[in-house]
Amino acid sequence: MENPPFALDAYLERVHYAGSVHPTEDRLEALHRAQVYTIPFENFDILLGRGVALDPVALCDKLVHRARGGYCFELNGLFLLALQAFGFDARALLARVHLSGTPTGRGHQLALVTMQGREWLADVGAGRLTLRAPIPLELNRIATQDGRTFRLVEADPFGIMLQTLHEGQWLQLYSFDVGYVCPADIAYGNHFTSTHPSSLFTSARVVALAHPNGQVSLLNCTLRTVTAGIEHAQELEEGPTYVEALKRHFGIELDAPYEAMRPLPR
């Protein structure tokens, strides 16, 4: 049985976008920013023991109709569905995350978009370090977005590395190549990332939402807001205070009791 057509109008309403969706570079950036600023990065369904479904119906139901967020496979999966529905030439890529210093397996999904012979990297699902707008797939080209600076560099043997400038040093984010990615590759990566004990997402609460002047993020009980480069951190109490903060800062309303979540490690 085929999936129903992508819910174009509902998606555009969800990301608060009212402009043209004709496939151009400007509109690719506008759609990218629209989703980054409205749909949060979050992993609560994993901690509730529900797993992560990636079929188009499940993605639209959760992220669009129920106004929840998701992690990279969900956020970039939804964005890819939207781009393809709007007529963009776009396909999935997989990347290895390097933030810890040791590369992971290919457990991060992003997208490659081609327009008039030029390729663009799009990623609405890398949490607090995500791109705010697509960047050209060109090595050593500096891109500054909302005060954050990114570049792509050659990173043998891993392919191409996305870096961000942090406190005067280039931080390694993730590496990728542009080889073909099939649905089974994504299913493998999603399964490991959402179930394996060594995955951050099975043991920690991770939430992030960007805005044009900064971002707000949550790691377990530490809430951090950054506005115009000024950071403020606070510790949230467990229970109703935590649930209220999820709604106020991220628009997340859990449809399960707070106590149903996997407890935080001591």
Active-site residues, by number, are 72, 108, 123
Sign of the Cα torsion 62, 227, 174, 99 reads negative
Radius of gyration of the chain (CA): 18
Nearest to 124 by CA among 39, 232, 7: 39
Tell me the C-alpha distance between 110 and 108, whole Å. Answer: 7
Asked if 125 and 41 touch (Cβ cutoff 8 Å), the reply is yes
Tell me the C-alpha distance between 156 and 261, whole Å. Answer: 40
Residue 258 is classified by DSSP as G
Asked if 170 and 163 touch (Cβ cutoff 8 Å), the reply is yes
Phi, psi for residue 41 in degrees, rounded to 5:
-80, 125
